[in-house]
Amino acid sequence: MQATLLTAEHQTFRETLRAFIRKEILPHIDRWEKDNQIDKSIWKKMGDMGFLGLNYPEAYGGLDLDFYYSMIFCEELSYCYSGGFTISALVIQYMSAPYLLKYASEELKQRYLTGVIAGDLVSAVAITEPGAGSDIQHIKTTAVREGDYYIVNGSKTFITNGYYGDFFITAVKTDPSKKSKGISLLLIDRNTPGVSAHKINKMGWHASDTAELGFDQVKVPVSHLIGEEGAGFGYLMGGLQLERLTAAIQSISTADSALQYTLAYIDKREAFGKKLMDFQVLRHRIAQMVADIATTKAFVYHCCDLQQRGDYAVQECSIAKLQSSELAIKIVHECLQLFGGYGFTEDYKISRLYRDVRVGTIIGGTSEIMREIIAKTAIDKVNYHTKKE
């Protein structure tokens, strides 16, 4: 497949990124996990290296590279043994900032997008609400226009980068009577009066800040409307494929990182007078994991080819998200078993991976939603034809 035919430049980028991760990220991961907080200075360091603007135009400080650089970026960050750090980075570059690039005014791009790419600003996307997750049409956060401002009231939950982030791309109802056609996107600054944020205590992803957001009579300038009023639902649907693809890359790479970590362990651990890696039953179990990862990764790479080509691959990205996230849970579960009692301790990173990987089948649309989308395309012959912008 095309994604496997990476150039020498792609490989050089991978090596540069790996060196950066070893120097600037890995030494701090355990502290970030313990503190439940990522040091924001890392984003500036990543911005200085160009890592936060891989696919963005040079006019805003980006590098304007092909999507395979982003594929490599997602893969390598997923080997940091911290799903929380990885998802925070992916939310910035692939799940929130793209809405600025594709739909925001030039003023907003210059003010906010350039800041994100430089690592000076941390962005988040605020869609999910206590009563509306994948059912975006039924969000209840409202934005009522009064002169030059929208007055926003409502709440959001499970917002990655919601506590320490600088601004949110927020889904609101500007006309509740129009259902999906009444949804708009607003850029809301974190420090605007009336905005509140509370951290959520999570099972995993401890390094990332995941927050509940409250909006109480928040005044948002009309100039902070992203794109057209009432077009937000379509914008969000168009952005989901990239979100799900990057989540799929993270999941399958996390599975592989767990396997590689386990292989290093069983090469040293002995039982009954020989290394664990020499027991046939364990060798065959490892072999099946290798095969499962390889075949799923091949399909994820196929989806990367479609993304690079500009295809709006709804079914394919849904399959990739479903298969990779489900497989990652299975792989990490089996890997932890090979550690025996040590796998149940915090002395080995496999326990952290076990906690972190579980959310993969929930974020970006649950496995149940992915299956429903696939069913609609395969059984009902629904054609999601919107072209990726």
Q: How does pLDDT run across 263-321, given as a tens digit for each residue?
A: 999 888 767 777 888 778 789 999 999 999 999 999 999 999 999 999 999 999 999 99
pLDDT value, residue 221: 98
Q: Which two tokens stand for residue 18?
A: 């790996």
Over residues 134-177, the pLDDT tens digits come to 778 889 999 999 999 999 999 999 999 999 999 999 999 999 98
Query: How many whole angstroms separate alpha carbon 326 and alpha carbon 358?
Result: 9
Query: How many whole angstroms separate alpha carbon 357 and alpha carbon 344?
Result: 15
123-228: CATH superfamily? Butyryl-CoA Dehydrogenase, subunit A, domain 2 (2.40.110.10)
- Tell me the CATH architecture of domain 6-121: Orthogonal Bundle (1.10)
Query: Residue 169: CB partners within 8 Å, gap ≥ 6?
Result: 96, 99, 100, 123, 124, 125, 126, 185, 186, 187, 226
pLDDT value, residue 81: 95
- Return the closest-CA partner of residue 82 out of 311, 250, 293: 250
The residues that bridge with 204 in the sheet, in sequence order, are: none
Class of domain 231-377: mainly alpha
Give pLDDT < 70 ranges for the chain.
1-4, 270, 385-389
DSSP string of 139-197, one letter each residue: ---EEEEETTEEEEEEEEEEEETTTT-SEEEEEEES-GGGGGGGEEEEEEETTSTTEEE
pLDDT value, residue 336: 96
- Active-site residues, by number, are 243
pLDDT value, residue 270: 65
pLDDT value, residue 1: 46
- Strand runs (DSSP E) across the chain, as ranges? 123-126, 142-146, 149-160, 167-173, 183-189, 195-199, 210-221, 225-226, 270-271, 274-275
pLDDT value, residue 387: 47
Q: Which two tokens stand for residue 344?
A: 């149940």
Residue range(s) in the chain whose domain bears CATH number 1.20.140.10: 231-377
Could you tell me if 33 and 352 are in contact, meaning their C-beta atoms sit under 8 angstroms apart? yes
Could you tell me if 321 and 167 are in contact, meaning their C-beta atoms sit under 8 angstroms apart? no
Residue range(s) in the chain whose domain bears CATH number 2.40.110.10: 123-228
Q: Containing H/E element for 349?
A: none
